[in-house]
Structure 1
């Protein structure tokens, strides 16, 4: 956002300078100088620096409090996103108001400058900005959601005016332009909630005890330390046929207490089920290997 403020600021001054060069007389120079509040320009630089420091301070406070109070992490991240948006808009308006004397001439120059900038140099940036407003209003996802987008899977950490940042499960930070979300499908696993459904498939042979296997999976999921018990644990059964084997697929659908524990929850249930399957003699499906004629 600070780059946006600098870009608009510099573009405006360039247009004013261009207008001054067309009529290089004393009157034009005086008119140009009368439009700019030079004291305000220096103060604007200070405001931009203070805005940057304020945003960094807010980031550090939210990170610190979220670590201490995990139950408020989602709320704090959402509040941070809206607060940053408000600070961006406020800082931009203040910088503009204190740097220029508003009259018909300056409004005409600024309007022409913005029209050209949006049409050419700032076309993609303006599209991302508008898309950012659309994302904020339409809310296809929220800060803290675990989202799948274009093959990427992770948590939304910030929603900005130009882009959205996602932290993947490999701890990579992905920056996605906002206009990408207008035409692509986004899947949110929890949509603002702290808990999320986790789907874990298991496969056993056709000759195994299906009821026993289903009960073992149900018990393993219900006794996990990461389970969100207010929501049900469901184990679905279906027959799966592939090219070379026939099997029973048991799909466990359970809710993890926090999206941050998704993979630990999945690992915990898988290890428990495999241990119980081995203890009770439940085996995986046998793959039929067809013999080739000599």
Structure 2
């Protein structure tokens, strides 16, 4: 009887031991799985390629494409609208172009923010990557673009010139048609579009002819001989300037006379300073005045500069007579 009880106790103990082992294994299985998953995530996090792939929202790339397309359509429509409104309301043309420039900035910034939020997963890991070597490399690659972006913002707030102004920058002269995030577009008088990076305007001198208004001062030079009737010539220039259809009469008309040397020839320069009604008529204004003044100069007998020959009289030398011998 004692032997049977002992055997029963041993079998129960063995079964209890096995049950305990199975329970331990069952309880440890989730822990092992979590540990394996954590190790796999750690390996994945250490893999830069996998991390870069996880940064993208692949479903958001299609939406980003449509956002960019919509922004492009909106900007094209805005440009055509500004052009039509500028032709209808000529006196408000510069104001409309300024509003258009700010609208372009707003659309650019909204598009960039929308594309970033739709296409990338902004997480702690991404911030760590961008603040590391990738950010440094990106900073060196985009330093010129960043400088142009900051310069564009400074141009918009400091306003050395505005959209619609006629400026002289380096060897380029024309109208500012757009101030973008990266560059300024300048339309020259020969109808060429010149693109200038924004950061160049911070290091060089820019001359603005009208600065936010439509009218602008124009200088036209005339040269006559020093032996001509300069008073009559000055009256002709003032009369022609006052009667041209391109003149802006609320501002003064001046004719400045000075003596200059042209090709080793002394001449009188008559410089007209008058204001044209609109900057787009600058060359028409200059041509109209030049044609009428030259016609009246010819009718009045006023001649251009010429080399004058002077007659130099020979000096009479009186020779002293020798004293007679005593």
TM-score band (shorter)?
A: 0.7 to 0.9
Q: Name 2:268's counterpart in structure 1.
A: 248
Superimposed CA distance per residue, residues 22-79 of structure 1 (whole angstroms, 9 cap, x where no aligned partner): 5389xx67x964x544333321221111111111111111112222322222111111
Aligned residue among 176, 185, 191 for 2:196? 176
TM-score by length of 1: 0.84
Change (3 A) 1:248 1:47: same
Q: Which runs of 5+ in 1 are unaligned?
A: 1-18
Are residue 199 (structure 1) and residue 219 (structure 2) matched? yes
Q: Which runs of 5+ in 2 are unaligned?
A: 1-42, 311-326
Q: Name 2:139's counterpart in structure 1.
A: 118
Superimposed CA distance per residue, residues 180-226 of structure 1 (whole angstroms, 9 cap, x where no aligned partner): 11111111111111000000111111222221111110010010100
1:104 CA displacement? 2.0
Name the larger-Rg structure. Answer: 2
Give matches, 1:49-88, under 5 Å. 49-88=69-108
Aligned mates of 2:200, 2:105 — CA distance in 1 = 20
Instruction: Report the 3-state secondary structure (helix = DSSP H, G, I; strand = E; otherwise coil) of the residue aligned with 1:227.
Output: coil
Change (3 A) 1:47 1:20: farther
Give the RMSD, CA atoms, in angstroms.
2.3
Aligned residue among 59, 73, 77 for 1:39? 59
Instruction: Kindly indicate whether structure 1 or structure 2 has the higher relative contact order, using CA contacts under 8 Å at least 6 residues apart.
Output: 1
Aligned mates of 1:24, 1:58 — CA distance in 2 = 43
Aligned mates of 1:155, 1:136 — CA distance in 2 = 16
TM-score by length of 2: 0.76
Worse-superposed segment, 77-86 or 110-119: 110-119
| Aligned length, in residue pairs | 267
Aligned mates of 2:266, 2:181 — CA distance in 1 = 52
Q: Name 2:183's counterpart in structure 1.
A: 163
Instruction: Report the 3-state secondary structure (helix = DSSP H, G, I; strand = E; otherwise coil) of the residue aligned with 1:107.
Output: helix
Superimposed CA distance per residue, residues 157-195 of structure 1 (whole angstroms, 9 cap, x where no aligned partner): 111111111111110111111111111111111111100
Q: Name 1:281's counterpart in structure 2.
A: 301
1:80 CA displacement? 0.8
Q: Name 2:246's counterpart in structure 1.
A: 226
Worse-superposed segment, 249-258 or 98-107: 98-107
Are residue 237 (structure 1) and residue 257 (structure 2) matched? yes
Change (3 A) 1:55 1:284: same
Q: Name 1:149's counterpart in structure 2.
A: 169
Aligned mates of 1:32, 1:174 — CA distance in 2 = 40
